[in-house]
Chain A
Amino acid sequence: MEFLLLLVSSGLVAGAAYGLIAMGFALVYKATGVVNFAHGELVMLTSYISFTLWTTFDLSFLPLMAITIPISMAIGLTLERAFIRPMLGEPVFSIVMVTVGLAVILRGVTIMIWGPDPFNFTANIPTGIVRIGSVPFYPAQIYLIVALAVMALAGWAFLRFTRMGVAMRAVADNETAALLVGISVSRIHATAWMLSSALASIAGVLFAVNYRLVPDLWFQGLKSFPAVILGGMDSVLGAAIGGIVIGVIESLSQGYVGQGVREIAGFIVIIIVLMVRPYGLFGSREIERV
């Protein structure tokens, strides 16, 4: 029982990281129809920036994020303006490939600026052990789970209640119709990139605090794909839930099956799920007419 609880708790932590990263993917996909292959790199870049801010100003977590998030949003906006906006009207496929090129660039730039050395990034989060029931946690792990809960709620409320959120759903639904009713589609795209970068920075900082800051952090982007797919690519809340589910399944499969199965468990799950539901658990079904 003790063992099971431990597995579930560590699965929640890993799943929260997947969920936060996956939400960033889903947001951009929902608004622009593009899978941003550079999202993992964005996660890495923003956490390195945050690391520099932290070493320079020695801030604690919340003030640190208060500075990191706006900077990340500015980066998201810049990247959208410089790389994605000029591609407007091109096939989705070409835009996806641009994000692949962007990913290569960001990876190189990160190593050029910060070097390949790994860092210990604590963001001044205490490292004493906290017990919930009998299960031990590091505070940073709890931060990660709480961050996912808060962001999932905020994301849902944003899309449900705010003007911008509703406009974003309209664009996702039908871009041309949205244009016709006076929604600035390009502004929606830019907003999606900004918010997605903000999510990336939260995910990046908390991931790095929990699992160290290393220049292959970008790989977590690929590792989060099962969460995005499981939730349905255009469902932001689904991505958060998908992350948690994948995290817990990975942890349990490693615990009870073992020998590296964790690294592929998520992918096996999505293959099975997609056979039954080709649009993920919460994704919207596309209805086509010939």
Chain B
Amino acid sequence: MRMRIIALSAALLASSAVFAADPGVTDTEIRIGDVNIMTGPASFIGRAVSLGSKIAASEINANGGVNGRDIVIVTEDDGYVPSRSFQALTKLIEVDEIFALNGTSGTANVLAMMPLIEENNLPTVVTTAPNELIYNPVRPSVFTIGASYEDAFFGQLKYIHENLEPENAVYGIIRQEDDFGVTVEAGYDRAVREFGLKDGIRLHYTRGTTNFATEVAQMNAAGVNVLANGAIIAGAANVLSEARKLGMEAQVAAVWSENMPPSVGLSAPAGYDYLVGDYVALTGPAVDEFLERARQYVSEEELAGLNRYTYVTYIGLKVLAHAMEQCGQELTRTCTVEQLRQIRDFDTQGLSGAISFDNDEQLSGTAIAIYQLNAADKTFKALTDFVEY
């Protein structure tokens, strides 16, 4: 019996050396992994991310798949906890045998998966966490789409400085105490240095803070009238509502999560027409066209949960599929990575700037468009085109 087990496993090992060099690809399908926030308070982001993959996959499959193979998305929940992301990706690699990874959750979550990604040379497109920690140092199989928060905030402050020209401008920033907040402050820092802005106050808050009354009072006392609001969702709304209470007149720059409909619903009542910088389109024909296509593949109910994160993963999977298509029938991870590296000016039909990975950081889509909210009717209008900062 024991001999048989050994023989069997030896045979398995031998066979795996020949066939399973690149798991996840059969004659009819390609399995693409998606590790995502499907539970807990942040799951509306994860669901939107998932939706993007789903729309892209349905669209690709309806048009004949990738060289005849259908794309199958396998989703795992990580609840936004890095240790669970690690476990989830282990499962996707070992049990579901995915070929590549498209949906990724937050920055720390991607970092926790990074050793596994590198070991398996897993082609990975990171779209939801374009943080410098992801692409510096560059990992051979990891490709990042999206601008950093640094660029997003620099772009907004630049716009405010050059176009809105507030009188006696005093700038102030409030940002989260984590990797994301650090990049927000980097953008603020750069704007302060380059334009010689008056830097009134810098505040940090711990994730999960709900009460910002003190911070806003400090801002007010420092005379801030240009506010770089690095708080997110309910936090951002609470900052603005406190600011309104103190009667602060201010131009506000916000994080791109503040263009999602639920965030707007929370923040708009404070009445600030805040700016956001984003690397995907929020308005215009590209978005309308996208919605029209999306309606063919997903229900209205699912579409209600659509937001910017849907566009970014949609773009991510389209790029990945394009690279896989270039490999022809002999689809391998090495080839896919090679093809991804050669992508130049991939057209996203206006959903973002064109995608090119042929740079040292394997980073693209870093162009930012600035939008402004109309708090009265909760719509955004584009102030600038996609610009590199």
Contact = CB atoms under 8 A, between A and B. Distances in A.
A118 B234 contact: yes
A6 B242 CA distance: 11
B234 A138 contact: no
Interface string B199-216: 000011110111101110
B237 A212 contact: yes
B221 A118 contact: no
A216 B41 contact: yes
Contacts of B233: 118, 214
A116 B41 contact: yes
- Interface centre among A7, A214, A219, by most chain B C-beta atoms within 10 angstroms, is A214
Contacts of B47: 116
B307 to A, nearest CB: 10
**Interface secondary structure of B, over-half rule:** helix
A150 interface: no
Interface in A167-215: 211-212, 214-215
B199 to A, nearest CB: 16
B205 A255 contact: no
Contacts of A6: 213, 217, 246
B177 A118 contact: no
Interface in B234-277: 234, 237-238, 241-242, 244-247, 262-263, 265-266, 269
A3 interface: yes
**Interface secondary structure of A, over-half rule:** mixed
Contacts of A284: none
Interface residues of B, number: 37
Interface stretch (A56-64, A84-92, A258-266): A258-266
B39 interface: yes
Given A111-B39, A116-B43, A215-B40, A251 B214 contact: yes
A109 interface: no
B387 interface: no
A243 to B, nearest CB: 13
B218 interface: yes
B204 A116 contact: no
B383 interface: no
Contacts of B177: 260
Contacts of B116: none
Given A211-B238, A260-B205, A118 B214 contact: no
A214 B234 contact: yes
A254 B234 contact: no
B42 interface: yes
Nearest to B246: A136
A218 B46 CA distance: 20
B44 interface: yes
A117 interface: yes
Given A116-B41, A216-B41, A258-B203, A251 B238 contact: no
Nearest to A262: B214
A237 interface: no
Nearest to B42: A116
A10 interface: yes
A120 interface: yes
Contact of A259 (B40, B204, B237, B265): B204
B40 A116 contact: yes
Interface size class of A (residues with CB under 8 A): 35 or more
Contacts of A13: 211, 213
Given A119-B265, A212-B238, A263-B206, A10 B41 contact: no
A266 to B, nearest CB: 12
A130 to B, nearest CB: 10
Given A118-B234, A119-B265, A129-B245, A10 B39 contact: no
A216 B208 contact: yes
Contacts of B205: 260, 263
Interface in B213-233: 213-215, 217-218, 221, 233
Interface string B32-68: 0000000111111001000000000000000000000
- Interface centre among B47, B233, B238, B262, by most chain A C-beta atoms within 10 angstroms, is B262
A14 B213 contact: yes
B241 to A, nearest CB: 8
Given A10-B213, A119-B265, A129-B247, 6 more contacts: A7-B214, A13-B211, A118-B234, A119-B266, A136-B247, A212-B237
Interface of B: 39-44, 47, 177, 203-206, 208-211, 213-215, 217-218, 221, 233-234, 237-238, 241-242, 244-247, 262-263, 265-266, 269
16 contacts: A10-B213, A111-B40, A118-B262, A118-B265, A119-B265, A120-B237, A120-B269, A122-B269, A136-B247, A211-B211, A216-B208, A254-B215, A255-B218, A258-B218, A259-B203, A263-B205
Interface of A: 3, 6-7, 10, 13-14, 108, 111, 115-120, 122, 127, 129, 136-138, 211-212, 214-216, 219-220, 251, 254-255, 258-260, 262-263
Q: Which 7 A-B pairs have the closest CB atoms?
A: A10-B213, A216-B41, A254-B214, A212-B234, A116-B43, A116-B44, A215-B41
